[in-house]
Amino acid sequence: SAGRRLDAYLPSALAGTLDVSRSRVQALIDEGNILLNGSKPKASARLCPGDVVDVTIPAPKQWDVAAEDLPLDIVYEDDDILVINKPRGMGVHPAAGHWSGTLVNAILSRCPDLAGIGGEIRPGIVHRLDKDTSGVLIVAKNDEVHWKMSRLFAERKVFKQYRAIVYGVPESAVGIIDAPLRRSQRNRQIFTIDKRGRPARTQFTILKDYRIMAYLAVVLATGRTHQARVHLQSIGHPVVGDPVYGGKPRQGSAVSAKDVALLKKVQSEVHRQLLHAYLVRFQHPFFDKDIEIIAPLPDDFSRILNILEAGIEL
């Protein structure tokens, strides 16, 4: 490993003991939990033969997140894994100003032993969905399965298919968007396509052409934050109802009065981004079997599809 950066070396060196990213390595250094030859290093320090790296794994921090008896739509459960069809409008984990009503609050009520698994404020959570994205979300019931599921996601061994309704209709029935994503330097809350970003690849298939909109199956080969939303916006077909990347639909001169009326009708009924995590498929971390789980479309999503179906039949 001579010549490698410390923050590139440690995630693989610690695999099986502690699941860490480069950003987590930096945090551990800042906290004094990583030493290089007895001194606090820089994350970018290059390793040399004979170097000694000391890593202290800190105990989980104490936190005060209340268990809440909130309804959960459970689509799969065994001794190790809980899979939930998350509703739109529910945040995954507590954050400043939103310490209640989240998926974590609800999970702790159903599975109180989860407190502390996977970290401080996201017990059992191995991946996440945006607050207004509905659908499949996997929860680990113990530390070992949390680590194993996290590795499956990191190694891109979890197949994820979303359903989306987008403005306009892509030219090709099937398409691939291969464009790196990076957090915006102007607004840290959003992501942009940037050649300096992390690789990101999205595939889409048109399930139904509604002239003014299209119903898509979207497969994420990578799992970057906001990936589907940014990628679809980048090809001129943003997710309907997306408040950040949605923009305004393109309207050419050939758009009929009937289509304009249908567009207005749909927009009046949309109250969130029409993106739903529809399906996941992965090998169970403890058994030699594939698990495939489908989260049925929520009522608001189905209602928009029904409006579009009725509109194009007129």
Q: Would you give the DSSP letter of residue 198? A: B
The residue type found at 228 is: A
Which contiguous run of DSSP H or E holds residue 154? helix 143-154
What is the distance between the alpha carbons of residues 75 and 163, in angstroms, rounded to a whole number?
Answer: 17
Tokens describing residue 164: 């989306």
Q: 163 and 232 in contact (C-beta within 8 Å)?
A: no
Query: Rounded to an integer, what distance in angstroms lies between the CA atom of residue 22 and that of residue 9?
Result: 9
Q: How far apart are CA 273 and CA 230, in angstroms?
A: 12
Across 141-231, the runs of DSSP E, i.e. the strands, are 159-167, 174-178, 181-183, 191-193, 201-209, 213-220
At 256 the three-state DSSP class reads coil
Alpha carbon separation from 246 to 22, 144, 175 (Å, rounded): 31, 39, 20
**What is the set of active-site residues?**
130
Beta-bridged to residue 275, according to DSSP, are: 164
Structure tokens at 130: 């945006």
Instruction: Give the side-chain half-sphere CA count within 13 A for 69.
Output: 0
Question: Shortest CA distance to 137 belongs to which of 302, 279, 274, 283?
Answer: 279
For residues 186 and 153, the answer to whether their CB atoms sit within 8 Å is no
d(CA 121, CA 94): 7
